[in-house]
Chain A
């Protein structure tokens, strides 16, 4: 049976990677269901063997010395980032987090470990959609416009690098620069790479887009749709139902431990359906958008989720803002936040123009012709709409490779995935 399954996986793999660079034959990801893959990630047995003990420091840098941090964001004083260093001359990878992701999220840490093991320095950058970036690193404070985000990320890269070199001295010696990012961070990487062609500060040797969206708008429609299709009440019922079942599996467990592994086991045992998993993905996305919109609102005094012209004290209840924010999503943010904001700066810009610009298609020629840029994704990535996968295949040709399974970023620490990813970066040395 196992052999048949392996053969099946191989055949499927061949369909998926007909024109891909690394061979994905050895790839054995246990979830053929993209929702399970996205939520559960890679189970321990399939994970790459990564070191726990790496040279790593976290720093906070004041990027806007004159700017006062609002009281309600007292814990976002300064921009936080991490740096992984080799203590000898080595190339450095800039790594950009996905939507609402922080420099120290699980996927970012896994990348840091993989790069460290392979001999790279790393600087991990929080997504421009995360409150810490909005509060302490952004000038325009209206994230999502990829080209403008790229400018801010670029500045952050220059400043964090200088800061880290100043702090670490000889421990951080950089020979060349590389760039990667997952999900929204993948799309950001493409635009940052394009910007670097003009600015030429880093002259990236290789750039890898991991599970990037093609059209941001289309991806947002998919993810928001998971929530919109059932509504707030539906989501609450789903969450309650899952907790009830987790409770049942906990009461029948022979041994209760408060470890991530145990909670993972209980969650799997709760038999969450695809429908429910998609709602959880939608919910996670909605929590990110609520955080993001709240941060923008506070910084710009827009008065969408918060009272306009009001300074929120650090002890004040903001539960009402949470309820308001959770009732809308990224789409509302796009229509009522981004479109008017950027039209205010450029009246000729239509809504349709904006949708087109927030897409890798905007860079199609560049991505097709630039040999240093690679792309990795999964054939069942849930954020890709109908023709998106074909676009990725055609645009990246043999610089792109596609695994048959893995959902959205569910396989980023899988054994073969990590090997292929490192091989891509090593191919330029």
Chain B
């Protein structure tokens, strides 16, 4: 586990270095001319509206990370996911997804409690206990069959629930769109998750294997493909949708 922490810290350090170093402002040639269609007046615009977002001060870093993620997706993640799908029977893929989803219930439980959502905490606890026992360590999902549906709460949502604004937009390495608040939330959630995994008493290489399978499964569950629409403004649209989607999640 120590090596993993080391890698993560290294990435964090590299990230901080990048954050401060890059810019998204055009580096204009001497004979460049101002675009002929004037820039609409943004002073009256909703800073969260479609087409105009005023909370991306790290855009230079974010765009580089977005590009990096698109390339990582194309050359590493998606081929690995395809390989995984090819060699793994579908029943097992579902089992793997159920297993990690079940582990995730612990985070949802904790955050439901922190948001004083009693009913949600109880149904989540019920799901975790049922699926861990009858569902054989979470490989199956009998709770859903019983009509107790899964909810998702993370620490970013908890902070949002208590009125913390999302702060600047941040594109995280490999994980994609996030915000200062949600990025911090993710860190807290992973610390809790890691504690849970520690309790399982796995060896370092087993933990590593589990982390890899978890990542592959996580990517497999997201149907998004970079530049699938071919729009040059995908970055803008995703940024807009990210904040709207998070608002909806917090509202629930």
Contacts and interface: CB of A to CB of B under 8 A. Distances in A.
Interface of A: 72-73, 75-76, 102, 130-132, 232-233, 235-236, 239-240, 243, 246-248, 250-251, 254-256, 283, 287, 290-291, 294-295, 302-328
Contacts of B244: 243
The 3 closest A-B pairs by CB, nearest first: A317-B24, A236-B49, A308-B33
B27 interface: yes
Interface stretch (B34-42, B129-137, B158-166, B186-194): B34-42
30 contacts: A131-B232, A236-B46, A246-B248, A247-B251, A250-B252, A256-B149, A256-B151, A287-B233, A305-B37, A307-B26, A307-B33, A308-B33, A309-B32, A310-B26, A311-B29, A312-B26, A313-B27, A315-B60, A315-B67, A317-B24, A319-B52, A319-B53, A319-B59, A319-B236, A320-B39, A321-B35, A321-B232, A323-B42, A323-B51, A324-B38
Nearest to B63: A315
Contacts of A314: 67
**Chain B contact residues: helix, strand, loop or mixed:** loop
B248 A250 contact: yes
Interface residues of B, number: 49
A302 B34 CA distance: 11
Contacts of A75: 70, 226-227, 230
A317 B25 contact: yes
Nearest to A131: B230
B50 interface: yes
B35 A290 contact: no
B22 interface: yes
A307 B232 CA distance: 16
A248 B247 CA distance: 11
B248 A240 contact: no
B37 A233 contact: no
Contacts of A327: 37, 40
B247 A247 contact: yes
Contacts of A310: 26, 28-29, 32
Contacts of B226: 75
A255 B149 contact: yes
Nearest to A80: B230
Given A304-B35, A316-B24, A247 B231 contact: no
